Amino acid sequence: MGTRRNHSYLKLIFLLFIFLLGFSLSLHKISNWDIWWHLRAGEYIWEKGLIPREDIFSFTAEGRKWIDHTWLFQAVSWKIYSVAGLAGLIISKALLVGTTFVLLMLVCLRRGSHKTAALLATGFALFILRPRLFIRPHIFTLLFLALHLLILESSTKRRIWLALLPLLMVIWVNVHGGFVAGFIVLFCHLAGFTSHLGFLKFKGEAWSREELQSFYILVAATLATIAATLLNPYTYEILAFPFRLIGQKTYMENIFEWMPLWRLKGFYLFWIFLFLTLTAVFFSWRNLQPSDILQLLVFVILAFLAQRHIELFVIIATPILARHITLDLKKALSDKTLLWGVEMRPLGHLINLAAILLLVFAGIWVIFPRRSAFGLGVRSRLYPEKAADFIKQARITGRMYNEYEWGGYLIWRFFPQRKVFMDGRTVVYGEDLYQDWTKISEGRKHWQETLDKYGVNFLIINYQKDRPASFWEEERWVPIYWDDYTLVAIRDAPENRSLIEKYDARLTSPTIFPRNLSRDNVQTIITKLEEKTIQDPECAVAHILLGRILRRQGNLEAAIREYYRAIEIESRTGGPYYVTGAAYYFLAAAHYLQGYTQAAIEDCLSAIKFMPTNCDTYNRLGTLYQNLGETEKAQKMFEQAALCYFRRGLIQLGLGETEEAKKWLEQAAVLAPENEAIRAKLREMDAD
């Protein structure tokens, strides 16, 4: 009796711990793009008393059909926000995540997993999924998928649990398109049960009455669950929605979360998880259930086709991993071994404590370096907040062109007064509009004509993105505002003349700043930049630009102070990493001119840490090593710079910018004259 009570206490402790771990790791500031348009859509639903059926947020897709499959998530999110603000949304999401992983651990335990194995497997799953735990509708898919698994597992003892599946699906289908995962799980269980009955028939054994009843009830539950999906505002149309993106090449190649896994680097925890799962299954394969085989196969294929489906595979595979680790350990140690059989004695206590401490230290390791991102509120310097304030304050009118990822935030700030060019609702826009957006974003041939086609009057863009030089040389667009990453430019037209005269920022705009440095009005530029630092004390780029002018004038000490000021601002505010990298890059030049070569090398290494793809930094570092006579290090840096220039050249070539591409390739050839790939590409361009 006492042992059973101890087991129950330990189970409760583990479940409470996994809840608190999930809650803590998901309690971070808002940093995803889509939550903003979800909130605005939720407000629209509550105020109008209807669910939108056509696009209301953009001028490019206005009136196009919109199947708002996440309308219930939006309505609930808006109500939480209206009562408790953004903090309420973050806390609600953290509670949801904690509950999801408690349910997942319960599935592991229901399947006979050892408590410690269940804890470690569930904790590992949590760390894999942590980067995806945003306030987005897919959070409900993770919750409902775990609940789906728990209901199916519980139904093996009490079939009445299956009656909950259709009720669950009514909510799921109105919250997120991931409801299809529930179908897949059901079909896998049904197929597994069918194969079990077929195997009995093959062996010549009769089906028991209880087995037949279980089969018929599972079939009925599956059909009822399918029918439940029709209880949504769009009825049968919702069934096709999750598949509309599949096969659309433009999205698969350009939108990160839809890219196939084999095209992407990283995801090391996922690969380790997959390896552990397959290894655990291998050593106890005789105990592998048919439904588990099907689920692993289907969901690993989905994960490989699009990395956003990794989360589905992890939820599905966690109970399988925990169960087979348990079976493998039982086989290796036997039930009589003290290490396995006695949980509440001293050695068992140590094992359980070690498992908890392992997850605690892993949590600290995750949170501490990213502590500025955790907490309540909005992650700073991620959205174009100041630029949106400026657009409102300056009363800029007309159609805007915006960054794809900023569309949701701009809907939040401007709807219904201003509508966006594009946002994250890719299915609404279609491939044609997305390709037009990409043409403009990358400065491809005829990008200006595309803006004319849509009647765009002003741009709000991230000028730190890699674009061809010709993009910034276009004089039909006048910069009127900029900060550390955002630029607002307005069409040079008579109706905008008063705004241009008042806010003209061409002299100080970071996009054409090098061109301005050769002019005679340097003092005017300095004055304007000093005014900028007063108006926006947290604009690090203004200090970097000031430093560049002061260095050009020979005032190295003052220039260095400006660079350090920029670095201090970025470290305090958690600004864009590339701004910090740029500050270190120019700081290296100033230190070198002062004769501090070693300090310049340290600055370059810091710049590479923040901007690992900046070609010029490797080139500069190679020159510094060369000056010190460290030939081997210099050669390594020059080769790295050449490879970087080569890649940039290929990118520009892909954009149709032949002259720009040739410039980068020639720089690469100077640094690596023996590189045959670079020389071959240059010969190919000369031949054309």
Confidence of residue 159 (pLDDT cuts 50, 70, 90): confident
**378 DSSP 8-state letter:** B
How far CA 201 is from CA of 156, 198, 217, 288, 290, in Å, comes to: 21, 5, 20, 20, 16
Phi, psi at 592, each rounded to 5°: -65, -40
Confidence of residue 353 (pLDDT cuts 50, 70, 90): low
Do residues 229 and 173 make contact, with C-beta atoms less than 8 angstroms apart?
yes
Burial class (CB in 10 A: 0-12, 13-18, 19+), 682: middle
* Kind and range of the H or E run holding 399: strand 399-402
For residue 573, the Cα-to-chain-centroid distance in whole angstroms is: 21
| Predicted local confidence at residue 369, as pLDDT | 57
pLDDT, the chain, mean: 86
671/660 Cα distance (integer angstroms): 18
Which region among 158-162, 205-209, 569-573 has the lowest average model confidence (pLDDT)?
205-209
Judge if pTM exceeds 0.85: yes
Mean pLDDT of the region 559-571: 92
Per-residue HEC secondary structure of 116-127 comes to HHHHHHHHHHHH
What contacts 530, CB < 8 A, 6 or more positions away? 546
Domains, the chain, in order of start with CATH, read: 2-31+67-373 (no CATH), 383-506 (3.40.190)
Q: How many CB atoms lie within 10 A of CB 249?
A: 8
| Predicted local confidence at residue 347, as pLDDT | 47
Is the pLDDT reported for residue 207 higher than 90?
no
| Predicted local confidence at residue 333, as pLDDT | 67
Do residues 590 and 551 make contact, with C-beta atoms less than 8 angstroms apart?
yes
Q: Which of 128, 129, 167 is nearest to 148 (CA)?
A: 167
321/325 Cα distance (integer angstroms): 6
Tell me which of 245 and 623 has the higher pLDDT. 623
| Predicted local confidence at residue 343, as pLDDT | 45
Is the pLDDT reported for residue 141 higher than 80?
yes
For residue 529, the Cα-to-chain-centroid distance in whole angstroms is: 34
Which position has the token pair 């005014």?
Answer: 531
Is the pLDDT reported for residue 562 higher than 80?
yes
443/472 Cα distance (integer angstroms): 9
| Predicted local confidence at residue 456, as pLDDT | 95
Mean pLDDT of the region 653-682: 79
Mean pLDDT of the region 317-326: 93
Is the pLDDT reported for residue 614 higher than 90?
no
426/244 Cα distance (integer angstroms): 10
How many residues appear in the chain?
688
Q: What does the pLDDT look like over 225-266, one tens digit per residue?
A: 999 999 999 988 888 877 766 666 666 666 777 777 777 777
Amino acid identity of 248?
Answer: Q
How far CA 580 is from CA of 8, 161, 591, in Å, comes to: 52, 56, 16
143/148 Cα distance (integer angstroms): 9
Write the Ramachandran bin of 377: left for phi over 0, alpha for psi from -120 to 50, otherwise beta: left
